[in-house]
Structure 1
Amino acid sequence: MHLLRVVAISVAPTDGTYTDFGRGQGEFVRVRLEAVLFSPERIGKTRTFTIHPYPGDSTFPPEMLKPGYSYLVVYPFSLGFARHEPIDTIGLTRCGVLEDTLANERRVLALLRSTHPTR
């Protein structure tokens, strides 16, 4: 699990890569990394990359990001797992996104630390 603070740079429709699960395309969001709050991996000099927030379904609405706003990104896979070439050093697909608030940060960090106590 990773918890990253990012700022949305730009939003675009997906390119058809994620048509699985029948849950719609959603968006690709180009983000700038502001801080690594929790990660079992070392993140090098990567500063901008693309994420694919949850596109929504009949139960949950899509996660929509606005350029210029800060968000917390929760990503459950290895950072090298899903690159969106050629521009990304890392690519985060199907990640969870939360509003960047102190309450959200504390809640997620407490959960991550309780499930990964050695990190």
Structure 2
Amino acid sequence: YLRSEYQGCERTKGMQVLNLGREFEMQSMKETEKIKGYTDRLLGIANRVRLLGKDFPDERIVQKILVTIPEKYESKISALEESKDLSTITLGELINALQAQEQRRMLRQ
């Protein structure tokens, strides 16, 4: 009985991880959204996957952010590419750099 119950739980967990992976892939940053709101959304999904016992590397989140943020951040991404290897940038470094640009843009308005 316990084995069948455990296997059912594992199957349910697997489906949850699959659904969260789909949800993560479907995310994109809205034009009016703040960096913090978007990254919090992505981290929330990643942390739910991690709570289910599956690995979810920060590199995957970094790649997602780089590919899905609006064009207005393109100059910052280019500057980061020139100053360091984007394959080694940490999630914290990326978020800090994008938030700094966002704040500068808001001050100019």
When the two structures are superposed, what TM-score results if normalisation uses the length of structure 1? 0.25
Higher strand share: 1
When the two structures are superposed, what TM-score results if normalisation uses the length of structure 2? 0.27
Q: Greater CA radius of gyration, 1 or 2?
A: 2
Higher helix share: 2
